[in-house]
Structure 1
Amino acid sequence: MEENRLFPVFFKLNRLHVLVVGGGNIGHEKVNAMVQNCPEATITVVATWFLPEMETLAHEYHSITLLQKEFSCGDLLGKDLVIAATSDRELNHSIWEKAKCSKVLINVADTPELCDFYLGSIVQKGNLKIAISTNGKSPTVAKRLKQVLQEAIPDGLDEVLNKLQVIRDKLKGDFSEKVKQLNKITEVLVQDKDADKA
């Protein structure tokens, strides 16, 4: 049976430079997702044309640069991540080849076999962020799970996280001792509700 062998990571996009190739719906969706999670994300979008919504995003977020031109190898210079988001499969494949030669991680929209990473569905409640992956099998299922988790996680959880950080900063001992103490303090978060009723 196939397993999801992806290793989840959270990029600090304010420290990286992302290239997005494509100014249409797919490109807009990817750029919008990034700035919703990191408003300071440095993103360069290369395309021969841009949706008005993409231009609006660039006006709203000054770390987005729009370059109206054909994609070229030089666009990869100084970039840490690339997203090929055009509707032209041949162009997307060419971008993938050039990114691989430049040793730049790439995501080719709607082509899982050409992706080094995926942009999953994200649930966020304050500082808590959960990324959901179906290993490229079904973005629709990921979106449904996002809805369920968004409703299930209480809005007040961010206050709990802030208080736990204060407690963690005051704890004494080495790392393993602090982990033991925090595990004891947070047991209440995973108590069996049925056991409470007994």
Structure 2
Amino acid sequence: MNALFPIYVKLAQLQTLLVGGGPVALEKLTAIYANSPEAKVKLVALEINEEVRSFAADHPQISLHERLFEDSDLQGIDLIIMASNNDQLNRHVQQKAREQHILLNVADTPALCDFYLGSVVQKGNLKIGISTNGKSPTIAKRVKEYLNELLPEEIDETLELMAQLRQSLHGDFKEKLRILNAHTEDLLQLKKDD
């Protein structure tokens, strides 16, 4: 059973802790800032590689702390991403995160995670998250590639028109929903006819 509940988080309103300073940390930073350019990230690692330093230099909302993780690093944190290959540290942070009700992701260790970082397809305002329930990031990547090719670049223009239509509608919720559904059904039918 896939019991994951998909949500989209406004990272600019939260404080994220990233533990790790190597290639996996860089991958996580890249994903964070590709999706949330205003995210605030505190990065703690005993060693921070040059690629991570270079990335952080271009993103002033990243604060680097080159030292061992301390339990006090969790103070004021809303979300934790572990990019550490230290199993003992990962389990320690998991315990502390649970005690403080902080959501945790541990790279490549689904059993320790409260949430997963899926693949993302983005075309303007349309964002589609893809999850395999932690089973196969490779399949998620292939589905992402497929959807990227399938969705037209013009989808963002359609979304803008739908937003304008939605704002112009009057009446009760049920009537607005009926009109919007009828309009989008026509749009999808046009694509099928092509």
TM range (shorter): over 0.9
Q: Indicate the residue corresponding to 1:23 in structure 2.
A: 21
Q: Indicate the residue corresponding to 2:128 in structure 1.
A: 130
Q: Which runs of 5+ in 2 are unaligned?
A: none
Deviation at 1:97, TM superposition (A): 1.1
SS of residue paired to 1:172: coil
Deviation at 1:192, TM superposition (A): 8.1
Q: Indicate the residue corresponding to 2:147 in structure 1.
A: 149
- Asked if the contact 1:84/1:96 (under 8 Å) is kept, the reply is no
- Matched to 1:189, the amino acid is L
Aligned match of 1:165 in 149, 160, 163?
163
Q: Which runs of 5+ in 1 are unaligned?
A: none
Counterparts of 2:176 and 2:109 in 1: how far apart (Å)? Answer: 43
TM-score (norm 1): 0.94
Counterparts of 1:109 and 1:84 in 2: how far apart (Å)? Answer: 6
CA deviation digits over 1:130-159, x for unaligned, max 9? 000000000000000000000100000000
SS of residue paired to 1:67: strand
Deviation at 1:94, TM superposition (A): 1.1
SS of residue paired to 1:43: strand
Computed over aligned residues only, the root mean square deviation of the Cα atoms, in angstroms, reads: 1.4
Q: Indicate the residue corresponding to 1:47 in structure 2.
A: 45
TM-score (norm 2): 0.96
CA deviation digits over 1:30-73, x for unaligned, max 9? 11100111110000000011121111111111111111110011
Counterparts of 2:57 and 2:176 in 1: how far apart (Å)? Answer: 45
- Asked if the contact 1:20/1:44 (under 8 Å) is kept, the reply is yes
- Asked if the contact 1:43/1:63 (under 8 Å) is kept, the reply is yes
Instruction: Provide the identity percentage.
Output: 48
Q: Indicate the residue corresponding to 2:36 in structure 1.
A: 38
